[in-house]
Amino acid sequence: MKIFIPTPLRQYAGGHESVAVEAATVGGALDQLVAAYPAMKKNLYNETDELRSFINIYKGDEDIRYLQNLATPLAENDELTIVPSIAGGAGTANMTGSVAEAAEVSLSNDEVRRYSRHLIMPEFGMEGQKKLKQASVLMIGAGGLGSPLGMYLAAAGIGKIGIVDYDVVDESNLQRQLLHRTADIGKPKSASAKATINSLNPNVEVETYNVPLTSDNALQILSGYDVIADGTDNFPTRYLVNDACVMLRKPNVYGSIFRFEGQVSVFYADSENKYGIKGACYRCLYPEPPPPGLVPSCAEGGVLGVLPGIIGTMQAIETIKLIAGIGEPLINRLLLFDALKMKFRELKLRKNPHCAVCSEHPSVTTLIDYEAFCGMPAHDHIADAALTSSQTQIQTQPSTPMSMQPTNQANGEITVQQLKSRMDAGEDLFIIDVREPNEYQIVKLGGTTLIPLNTVPDNLSKIPKDREVIVHCKMGGRSAKAIEFLKSQGYTNLKNLTGGINAYATEIDKTMPTY
């Protein structure tokens, strides 16, 4: 039978791709290999003559760990394949370190005490811990997902963590982004994240990139890391990270959240990855982005604070598994989590043979303009004019004018100062609030009528045509849409409250909360 030797180990086996042996068991076959090439021994076995944990042996397509290990019997035409794991060097261009190096890093006595609960697990042990120490992980985003991810990776003893985030800590982040504390409000997230990680584990080297990830810098930044963990908050960056990972042949540990639901997967399109699985990439699932405004971000749609804790933690687990070379990664599997139902579902994925980036004949071979591709900016900040209400866009029939983009018409606007002085003058105003009832409960202007945007068409009888109607929402986007619609229904005397109730709270009545 034949033993196939992976690229990084061939130098120890006379440069051969495969070696023919005759033996009754896997152990016997490896003994013959070592007898013929003694240099193989230290790469295959540890000090106590056990197979090193980062060496996987496959009989056919089955890991011998799930058969009878070294005692697994062999037949005449069986084939054995030696598969070293990632950080140990799989012979692909992107992997740092070689098998020999993996064995060379050492742990200090302090590190041994710190990581003892890893070290005493036979599946993990010193080998696994050394691989974590040697490994580097790049976190895209230090927000909801990046928080548990960064903290667990740091605690686990990853050698180097890179953090890409150019945002600053906002008060509304603290409900879920545990990397940041109340005192960090206003500081760059990358700096705040670095401080938290350093205080958790000073052994970890942290490199921060306080810049937007773009097509110009992505390949350079990503190329310095073994594993990329995507915890960004917008579609353009997700496509950028995916494409860059495919081009650099790096694993992309993906997590994404929406209100009470989350998704996790490992996109590893490199056909020579150590798992021997041709992994799907993000574009195999979603070749095209959704239209702008359809899928709300956390800032627009909200998110349960604990949810990224679950999803980001699962990303941390997958990252550590990839590095330590243990278990079965989420390659070609999409895990869906529903916090309200407390249910997990797993979908099998398949590589799209016509994928624009990861197929054999890709049409996208360099990074493109992802903001143009997605038709939206690469951040989730809500800009006043750009605000699109998810509820409205999706619940409105596409044929109605309400789905049209709002137009800014200065003459149809009323400022919060103008509104205030008219209220103070005791004018009898008709004001409609087109936000959702849960928003109305957070904060409201006095004397308004609540008609959520998507119910406006059913409530025209409540809106008089013969007098001025002032329309407001949170920031001015939805009210502009309501006004567009009302105009189409024959209303002529309409005013949009510029900046919405948030502007009123910031500029007129500072006792009112903003959200």
Partner 1 sequence: MVKVTVKFFAVGRDITGSDELMLELPEGTTAGEVLIQVKQRYPAFEKVAALLVAVNLDYADTATVLYDGDELAVIPPVSGG
Show which residues are catalytic: 298, 473
Q: What are phi and psi of 59, to 5 degrees?
A: -100, 115
Is 439 a residue that touches partner 1 (CB under 8 A)?
Answer: no
Closest separation between CB of residue 217 and partner 1, Å? 19
> Counting contacts by CB under 8 A, is residue 393 touching partner 1?
yes
Name which of 58 and 282 has its Cβ closer to partner 1: 282
The answer to whether 68 and 37 have CB atoms below 8 angstroms apart is no
Give 208 or 232: the residue with its C-beta nearer to partner 1.
232
Smallest gap, in angstroms, from Cβ of residue 345 to partner 1?
Answer: 7
What burial class does residue 36 get, using C-beta atoms within 10 Å of its C-beta: 0-12 exposed, 13-18 middle, 19+ buried? middle
Q: How far apart are the first and last CA of the chain?
A: 68
The two most distant CA atoms of the chain are separated, in Å, by: 99
Q: Are 251 and 320 in contact (CB under 8 A)?
A: no
Taking CB under 8 A as the criterion, the residue among 215, 223, 390, 418 binding partner 1 is 390
Give the footprint of partner 1 on residues 229-248 (CB under 8 A). Answer: 230-235, 238
Q: Which is nearer to partner 1, 289 or 500 (CB)?
A: 289
Task: Please report how close the Cβ of residue 161 comes to partner 1 at its closest, in angstroms.
Answer: 17
Q: What is the pattern of x (binds partner 1, CB under 8 A) and - over residues 127-146?
A: --------------x-xxxx
Check if the beta carbon of residue 506 is closer than 8 Å to that of residue 514.
yes
Question: What is the distance between the alpha carbons of residues 87 and 94, in angstroms, rounded to a whole number?
Answer: 10
Check residue 348 for interaction with partner 1 (CB under 8 A): yes
* Residue 43 lies near partner 1 (rule: CB under 8 A): no
> Residue 117 CB, nearest distance to partner 1 (Å)?
29
**146: phi then psi, degrees, rounded to nearest 5:** -65, -25
Closest CA to 439 of 492, 468, 475: 475
368 part of the interface to partner 1, by CB under 8 A: no
Is the CB of 131 or the CB of 238 nearer to partner 1? 238
Number of residues that bind partner 1 (CB under 8 A): 54
Q: DSSP string of 344-384? A: EEEEE----TT-TTTSSS-S--S---HHHHHTS-SS----T
Q: Does 190 bind partner 1 (CB under 8 A)?
A: no
Near partner 1 by CB under 8 A: residue from 106, 175, 395, 407:
395
Query: Does the footprint of partner 1 cover residue 328 (CB under 8 A)?
Result: no
Task: Tell me how far apart the alpha carbons of residues 297 and 263 are, in angstroms, rounded to a whole number.
Answer: 14
Q: In the bound complex, what is the minimum distance in angstroms from residue 433's beta carbon to partner 1?
A: 21
Which residues have C-beta within 8 Å of that of residue 72, sequence separation ≥ 6?
25, 26, 59, 64
Whole-number minimum distance, CB 346 to partner 1, in Å?
A: 6
Alpha-carbon gap, residue 446 to 292, rounded angstroms: 34
Which is closer to partner 1, CB of 263 or CB of 271?
A: 263
CB-count burial class (<10 Å; 0-12, 13-18, 19+) for 38: exposed
Binding string, residues 287-316; x marks residues near partner 1 by CB under 8 A: xxxxx--xxxxx--x-x----x--------
- Write down the least CB distance from residue 249 to partner 1, Å: 23
d(CA 353, CA 356): 9
Tell me how far, at minimum, the Cβ of 397 lies from partner 1, in Å: 6
Q: Which is nearer to partner 1, 134 or 297 (CB)?
A: 297
Considering only 127, 226, 261, 439, the residue that binds partner 1 (CB under 8 A) is 261
Counting every residue, how long is the chain?
A: 515
- Pick 394 or 512: Cβ nearer partner 1: 394
Using CB under 8 A as the binding rule, whether residue 192 contacts partner 1 is answered as: no
Among 257, 326, 456, 470, binds partner 1 (CB under 8 A): 257
Mind spelling out the 3-state secondary structure of 289-352?
A: CCCCCCCCCHHHHCECCCHHHHHHHHHHHHHHHHHHCCCCCCECEEEEEECCCCEEEEEECCCC
Instruction: Output 282 or 504, the one with its CB closest to partner 1.
Output: 282
Interatomic CA distance for residues 64 and 67, integer angstroms? 5
State the CB neighbour count (10 A cutoff) for residue 404: 13
Write out the residues near partner 1 by the rule CB under 8 A: 141, 143-146, 230-235, 238, 255-259, 261-263, 285-291, 294-298, 301, 303, 308, 334, 336, 338, 345-350, 380, 390-391, 393-399
